[in-house]
Amino acid sequence: MIHALLDTNVVLDALLDRTPWNIQANAIWQAQLDEQFVAYVTATTLTDIFYICRRYGGIEKAWQLVQAVLNQLPVISVRPSELKLATTLAGNDFEDNLQIACAMSRQLDVVVTRNLSGFTGSNIRILTPQQMLLRLSEDD
């Protein structure tokens, strides 16, 4: 069974139905609901979801979407050890480095993101949503 961290952009693509990425993001979301793999998000992803969704759909919508994520995905806490590790990683984006650090600390198999450039030099395998869907179809 694959254990994958979903980057914030993939989760937002599904939650906000952002075209053209929503098709693959929704398929990823459904695959985790169908238990084809185990998907995780970081605690910081939830704060990002709330902030962005509040801007797009208002505060009630933001709370609904945060609750939906909490009900459907395991959340990885962000501890000082992950924050410190993120500062030592090669990437230039602290948020992306923190995603990698959380995935590493939980020994996850992959990070699924649209932002491949933000995850260069990762010790964890990085897949686009399309690549993840192909991998899941190979495992069937």
pLDDT at 140 exceeding the cut of 70: no
pLDDT digits (tens, 9 = 90+) for 98-114: 999 999 999 999 999 99
Q: What is the pLDDT of residue 117?
A: 87
Overall pTM surpassing 0.85 (yes/no): yes
Q: Residue 32 — φ and ψ, nearest 5°?
A: -70, -35
pLDDT band at 56 (very low <50, low <70, confident <90, very high): confident
DSSP letters, 108-119, are -SEEE-S-GGGG
Q: What is the pLDDT of residue 1?
A: 93
Taking Cα atoms as reference points, which of 37, 18, 12 lies closest to residue 133?
A: 37
CA max distance for the chain:
40
**Structural domains in the chain plus CATH codes:** 3-139 (3.40.50.1010)
Query: Any idea which of 42-46, 78-82, 84-88, 121-125 has the lowest mean pLDDT?
Result: 121-125
